[in-house]
Amino acid sequence: MKKAVLTLFVVALVAFSCEKDNELENSTLGSNPYENPVLPYVTVERSTTLRTDSSIVVFDLKIHLDRIPADLDMRFVQQGIIDPFGDTVVTAKVNGIFLNKKIDGPSNYQIGLFDTEKRRISALSEYTHL
């Protein structure tokens, strides 16, 4: 009986005297280059208005494939644009995209990529139409 109790005691002490180490103590998340990209994935090649006082602007876009991951599944990827009024336009077109604009001043747009399957958006770049 004494031996059993002592054995239990020793085993318990050995098993539990050593503390479990915090393996994430020095772990940091780092930075993802796609979170705040230096260069935009989609740029506006040309933006034209039909008339000076028009509230419509036409965009021609360019997708920079060299700036996005090579293994990205592009089947459901389209272009996403948030106009100055907060409305989002998702389109598969690259040229001739009609968008709303402010009549009385410059209009800011946020442009990026949109995954229509999982409804995900990439980092957006700013574009101002004067």
Partner 1 sequence: MKIFSHFALDQYIWHVLTSALLLMFLSPELVFAQESSGIARVYTQPAQAVIKVNGELVRYGEELKLDTGVHKVEAWVEGYAFMSKEFRLTAGEFKTVRVKLLPSEEFSHYRKKLKLYKTQTAMLKFLPIAAYTGYAVISLSKLQNLNDEADDNFQLATEAKSAYNNGFWLNDLEENKALYFQSKADYEKNIKELNKKRTEFAVVTGSAVIVSFLTWKAAMKLKKPLFKAESQMHRFTCTPVLLPRNNGVHLTYEF
Distance CA 122, CA 70 (A): 15
- DSSP letter at 75 equals T
Task: Note the residue count of the chain.
Answer: 130
Q: Does 52 bind partner 1 (CB under 8 A)?
A: no
Q: Is 83 in the site for partner 1 (CB under 8 A)?
A: no
Which of 114, 105, 102 lies closest to 61, judged by CA?
114
Shortest Cβ distance from residue 123 to partner 1 (Å)? 5
Indicate the residue among 94 and 121 with the shorter CB distance to partner 1. 121
Q: Tell me how far apart the alpha carbons of residues 109 and 114 are, in angstroms, rounded to a whole number.
A: 15
* Position 120 contacts partner 1 (CB under 8 A): yes
Which residue ranges make up the site for partner 1 (CB under 8 A)? 1-2, 5-6, 8-9, 12-13, 16-17, 19-25, 27, 29-30, 32, 34-35, 68-69, 72, 112, 115, 118-124
